[in-house]
């Protein structure tokens, strides 16, 4: 039997759907981790992330209080607005996720998965395909499935206490702290427990890390980025730098650079078909974003110190252009069109400050266009400030500021080249000193049957994927635009990947697998999280996750007519 993602048990019309053709892995086996383990550097990274969060928030609050004591009420109000509003938005989103994850009701499909897994079934398939027809005639069987026990009074009191505790945490704006602490706890438990429990806690830790990375990234660009521009503008306009202003601006800049690099690291760690990012690469990426965002915000602050109204017009115009550019690129992160537009609008805010990859495939051209646009804008904003600055600003001071913007952007570009040329997890970027080779179909790369063995499937963040026009046009045997690094000449020849095992429960997700930089569907959709965690805890072996393959036209048409 199979279970829909909405909970109704359904008969499987095609028990053995065609899978993508097998393909040998081009990466040497030693490149992949032997097992998923929470390491000491991972723990230190989370503790440093907590330190960055506290330093950013505390410095902003301290500066706001200082403005109030100095009777500078206008700066106090602006600083406080950029603290409270983004924090409230993040807390509401976080509490909504908690409410869904902690809800009493569990889909009957999840219960069915747990029951079949507990019986020791060797070939249990669970499908997420959502078709009303296929659920007909099986409601009786659905009603007979056992539901999770609601427990007695003690269980009810525990649940009420947890709701109260989470409400207090979110009211006091500490959701991020709780999630960081919870991720630490799950990571430590994954090291102390046995093999089966270790996998369960590791999956939960990756889910939590995905949530906190997305929440912090959103908060950084809603709070830290505007706060940085505001404080720099105040410092330039007043021609003096207060210690608290410098501290707040530095903490905001570090928070921005840290969260972009952290988001990319968690994203790669969550994928079983992608090599993880080393901490050396993360540090270089932090330096890259630190200097480029620093130059960008400095140019903004210089221009805003002279032309406040025109600066607002420029920001709105740049955001609109970037948003329409992202929409034109046909991103694929949400299920509905309007959710996708809202997501693109949020990414447009990120594009005001830095580059952020949101589209599958080769992004070199788009990144080059964006970098040139930002470079030209920085030059124009700085030049206009230099020409129209007030008489209070000396020529020496003006030249120093222009040099700071130019050198900061140059350093950021240098670290970007270092990352892509030397430290990128997949090897150097195509065209920068290595050979590329065109491979087979897109889905042959992304299929779990051709990536890591099932034991190494790591499941880590909230919506499902739609079929793109390119996917509809591709038929069997048509090569997709997928490029992989070929082994260096004289190096070790790639070893064919061992045939993955086929026993144990299979969670069949009837959607094409998302490829980097997008999250896997089971990280985005919380219903799939529940199914995976219940199945994994009940099954004697780790469940395998199988995504739909688009290598045949029949599979594409069936997917389009059922989702």
pLDDT per position as a tens digit, 317-367: 999 999 998 888 777 666 667 777 887 888 888 899 998 877 666 677 888
Q: Give the residue among 177, 154, 175, 148 at the shortest CA–CA distance from 55.
A: 177
The yes-or-no verdict on residue 180 having pLDDT over 90 is yes
The token pair that represents 190 in the structure block: 């994954």
Torsion angle of the four alpha carbons 347, 351, 356, 359, in this order, in degrees rounded to the nearest 10: 60
- Distance, CA of 114 to CA of 379 (rounded, Å): 60
Q: Give the residue among 19, 11, 83 at the shortest CA–CA distance from 555.
A: 19
- Burial status of residue 12 (CB atoms within 10 A of its CB: 0-12, 13-18, 19 or more): middle
| Helices then strands, each counted (H, E), the chain | 19, 7
Residue 554: C-alpha distances to residues 366, 506, 521 (Å): 33, 22, 22
For residues 384-409, average pLDDT: 90
Q: Compute the Cα dihedral for 105, 109, 110, 116 and give only its sign.
A: positive
The token pair that represents 125 in the structure block: 């398939």
For residues 491-512, average pLDDT: 59
The token pair that represents 307 in the structure block: 């032309």
Q: Taking a C-beta distance cutoff of 8 angstroms, is the pair 102, 148 a contact? A: no
* Residue 156 DSSP SS3: helix
> Rounded to 5 degrees, what angle do the CA atoms 453, 199, 96 make?
115
Q: Give the residue among 26, 24, 6, 5 at the shortest CA–CA distance from 487.
A: 26
The yes-or-no verdict on residue 10 having pLDDT over 70 is no
User: By mean pLDDT, which of 52-56, 108-112, 365-369, 375-379 is the weakest?
Assistant: 108-112
The token pair that represents 166 in the structure block: 């989470």
Residue 544, strand partner residues: 506
Q: How confident is the model at residue 514 (pLDDT cuts 50, 70, 90)?
A: low
Helix-helix angle 175-192:73-101, to 10 degrees? 40
- Distance, CA of 276 to CA of 280 (rounded, Å): 12
For residues 50-67, average pLDDT: 96
Helix-helix angle 195-219:526-538, to 10 degrees? 160
User: By mean pLDDT, which of 104-113, 326-335, 341-350, 437-446 is the weakest?
Assistant: 437-446
- Distance, CA of 227 to CA of 221 (rounded, Å): 9
Tell me, what's the pLDDT at 159?
A: 87
Residue 82: C-alpha distances to residues 88, 173, 244, 317 (Å): 11, 14, 16, 21
Rounded to the nearest integer, the mean pLDDT of the chain is 74
Q: Which carries the bigger pLDDT value, residue 188 or residue 519?
A: 188
Tell me, what's the pLDDT at 507?
A: 77
DSSP state letters, 209-251: HHHHHHHHHHHIIIIIHHHHHHHHHHHHHHT---HHHHHHHHH
Q: Which carries the bigger pLDDT value, residue 308 or residue 141?
A: 308
Most confident range (mean pLDDT) of 93-107, 213-227, 361-375, 473-487 is 213-227
Residue 237: C-alpha distances to residues 62, 293, 377, 389, 464 (Å): 21, 20, 21, 10, 47
Q: Which carries the bigger pLDDT value, residue 387 or residue 488?
A: 387
Tell me, what's the pLDDT at 134?
A: 36
User: By mean pLDDT, which of 139-143, 193-197, 269-273, 412-416 is the weakest?
Assistant: 139-143
Q: Taking a C-beta distance cutoff of 8 angstroms, is the pair 481, 362 a contact? A: yes
- Helix extents (H) in 239-363: 243-269, 279-304, 308-328, 337-351
Q: Taking a C-beta distance cutoff of 8 angstroms, is the pair 110, 146 a contact? A: no
Q: Taking a C-beta distance cutoff of 8 angstroms, is the pair 544, 506 a contact? A: yes
The yes-or-no verdict on residue 470 having pLDDT over 50 is no
The yes-or-no verdict on residue 46 having pLDDT over 50 is yes
Q: How confident is the model at residue 551 (pLDDT cuts 50, 70, 90)?
A: low
- Distance, CA of 289 to CA of 439 (rounded, Å): 32
Tell me, what's the pLDDT at 148?
A: 47
Q: How confident is the model at residue 481 (pLDDT cuts 50, 70, 90)?
A: very low
User: By mean pLDDT, which of 139-143, 192-196, 286-290 is the weakest?
Assistant: 139-143
Q: Give the residue among 258, 260, 253, 261 at the shortest CA–CA distance from 298.
A: 253
Output DSSP code: residue 456. G
For residues 554-558, average pLDDT: 46
Q: Give the residue among 448, 444, 509, 515 at the shortest CA–CA distance from 478.
A: 444
Q: Taking a C-beta distance cutoff of 8 angstroms, is the pair 295, 412 a contact? A: yes
The yes-or-no verdict on residue 152 having pLDDT over 70 is no
Chain mean position to CA 446 = 18
Chain mean position to CA 468 = 21
Report the run of H or E that residue 127 belongs to, with start and end: strand 125-127
Q: How confident is the model at residue 209 (pLDDT cuts 50, 70, 90)?
A: very high
For residues 65-82, average pLDDT: 94
Q: Which carries the bigger pLDDT value, residue 531 or residue 107?
A: 531
- Distance, CA of 101 to CA of 95 (rounded, Å): 10
DSSP-derived pairing of the beta strands 544-548 and 506-512: parallel
- Distance, CA of 543 to CA of 123 (rounded, Å): 10
Q: How confident is the model at residue 281 (pLDDT cuts 50, 70, 90)?
A: very high
The yes-or-no verdict on residue 185 having pLDDT over 90 is yes
The yes-or-no verdict on residue 58 having pLDDT over 60 is yes
The yes-or-no verdict on residue 7 having pLDDT over 60 is no
- Burial status of residue 247 (CB atoms within 10 A of its CB: 0-12, 13-18, 19 or more): middle
Tell me, what's the pLDDT at 9?
A: 40
For residues 465-477, average pLDDT: 41
Tell me, what's the pLDDT at 268?
A: 86
| Cβ neighbours, 10 Å, residue 460 | 25
Tell me, what's the pLDDT at 109?
A: 45
| Cβ neighbours, 10 Å, residue 144 | 9
Residue 507, strand partner residues: 126, 545
For residues 285-313, average pLDDT: 93
- Distance, CA of 394 to CA of 266 (rounded, Å): 46
Q: Return the percentage of the chain with pLDDT > 90, whole number.
A: 37
Tell me, what's the pLDDT at 518?
A: 67
């Amino acid at each position: 039997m199979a279970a829909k993602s909405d909970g109704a048990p359904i008969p499987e019309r095609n028990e053995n759907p065609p899978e993508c053709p097998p393909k040998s892995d081009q990466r040497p086996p030693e490149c992949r981790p032997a097992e998923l383990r929470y390491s000491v550097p991972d723990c230190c990274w989370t503790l440093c992330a907590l330190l960055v969060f506290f330093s950013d928030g505390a410095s902003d609050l301290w500066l706001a209080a200082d403005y109030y004591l100095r009777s500078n009420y206008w700066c106090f109000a602006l600083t406080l607005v950029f603290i409270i509003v983004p924090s409230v938005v993040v807390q509401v989103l976080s509490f909504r996720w908690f409410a869904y994850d902690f809800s009493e009701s569990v889909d009957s499909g999840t219960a069915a998965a747990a029951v079949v897994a507990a019986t020791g079934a060797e070939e249990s398939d669970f499908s997420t395909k959502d078709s009303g027809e296929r659920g007909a005639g099986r409601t009786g069987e659905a009603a007979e499935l056992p539901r999770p026990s609601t427990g007695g009074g003690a269980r009810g009191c525990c649940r009420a206490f947890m709701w109260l505790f989470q409400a207090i945490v979110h009211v006091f704006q500490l959701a991020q702290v709780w999630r960081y602490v919870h991720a630490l706890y799950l990571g430590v438990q994954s090291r102390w427990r046995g093999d089966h429990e270790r996998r369960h806690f590791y999956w939960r830790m990756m889910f939590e890390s995905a949530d906190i990375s997305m929440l912090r990234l959103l908060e950084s660009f809603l709070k830290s980025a505007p706060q940085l521009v505001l404080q720099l503008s105040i410092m330039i306009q007043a021609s003096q730098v207060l210690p608290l202003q410098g501290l707040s601006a530095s903490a905001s800049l570090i928070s921005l650079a840290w969260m972009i690099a952290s988001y990319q690291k968690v994203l790669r760690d969550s994928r079983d078909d992608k090599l993880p990012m080393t901490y050396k690469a993360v540090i270089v990426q932090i330096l890259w974003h630190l200097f480029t965002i620093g130059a960008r915000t400095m140019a903004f602050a210089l221009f805003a110190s002279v032309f406040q109204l025109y600066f607002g017009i420029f920001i709105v115009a740049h955001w609109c252009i970037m948003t329409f550019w992202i929409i034109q690129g046909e991103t694929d992160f949400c299920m509905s069109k309007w959710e996708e537009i809202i997501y693109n609008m949020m990414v447009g805010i990120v594009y005001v400050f830095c580059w952020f990859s949101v589209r599958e495939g080769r992004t070199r051209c788009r990144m080059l266009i964006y970098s040139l646009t930002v470079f030209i804008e920085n030059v124009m904003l700085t030049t206009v400030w230099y020409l129209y600055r007030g008489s209070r600003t000396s020529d020496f001071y003006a030249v120093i500021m222009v040099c700071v913007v130019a050198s900061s952007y140059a350093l950021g570009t240098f670290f970007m080249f270092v990352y892509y040329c030397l430290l990128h997890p997949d090897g150097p970027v195509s065209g920068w000193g290595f050979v590329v080779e065109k491979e087979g179909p897109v889905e042959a790369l992304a299929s779990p049957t051709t990536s890591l063995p099932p034991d190494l499937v790591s499941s880590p963040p909230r919506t499902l994927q739609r079929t793109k026009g390119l996917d509809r046009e591709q038929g069997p045997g048509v090569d997709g635009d997928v490029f992989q690094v070929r082994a260096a000449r004289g190096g070790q020849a790639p070893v064919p990947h061992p045939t993955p095992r086929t026993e144990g429960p299979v969670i069949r997700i009837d959607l094409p697998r998302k490829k980097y930089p997008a999250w896997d569907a089971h990280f985005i959709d919380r219903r799939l999280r529940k199914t995976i965690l219940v199945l994994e805890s009940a099954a004697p072996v780790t469940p395998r996750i199988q995504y739909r393959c688009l290598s045949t036209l029949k599979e594409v048409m069936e997917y389009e007519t059922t989702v």
